[in-house]
Amino acid sequence: MATKELQKVGELTMDFLILLMLVLSGVWFLRSMEQRSRVALLGSFLGKYQIEALMENLTQGYLRALGEDDPARREQILNMLAAAEQSVALQFGSFATEFARVDEEPARVSTVGMALPFATRLLPKATFDVREAFRIHARGLAQAASNEMQRSPRDKAFTMSAELLLMQHTCHWFCRSKATASARTLVRHQTPYEQLVASVAPATRRDYLALVQG
């Protein structure tokens, strides 16, 4: 009798595990489809710009400048990057204006910790509008590039880097999840998400946090 009961329990356990695997596979499939759709949507707008290439050039230029022991040479390199800073700010501003024409539903981003399919529809209050986030980033990049705050070349480069990386974080968040975006930023740039938020201009930080934290 006990053997039959154990066998039945084992069968039920196996059925449950199979069902769980099917559910998880379905969630993974739906999530992957949704993420591919978001990547395609974002790419359809970014494809005409050189934002990623300009960002890479600026990042490398900043690192080269910071590696200079001669302050005059360091400042010279940073000043030479002004044209690229203006260009990336202008291009991202144009991108944000174009992306603002996207409908609201596909522009919603989930603030739930896990990347769940249909999270923006199931939990609409736990979302933010990425169109508004891009507008905030565009303004932050434009102000950093024009150096409205009259920062030193080094401080300007520091702020510009933070604005660019936080913008990139938002793009990854839109396509994947906040956790994935933060992990990529940490691995690629050795910068925690919290440090990025703390390093952007005060106006960017204020409006960004108000948006993503609701």
49: Cα within 13 Å, side-chain hemisphere = 21
- pLDDT, tens digit, for every residue of 165-206? 999 999 999 999 999 999 999 999 999 999 999 999 999 999
Mean of pLDDT values over 36-61: 94
DSSP letters for 125-143: TSEEEHHHHHHHHHHHHHH
pLDDT bracket for residue 32 (50, 70, 90): low
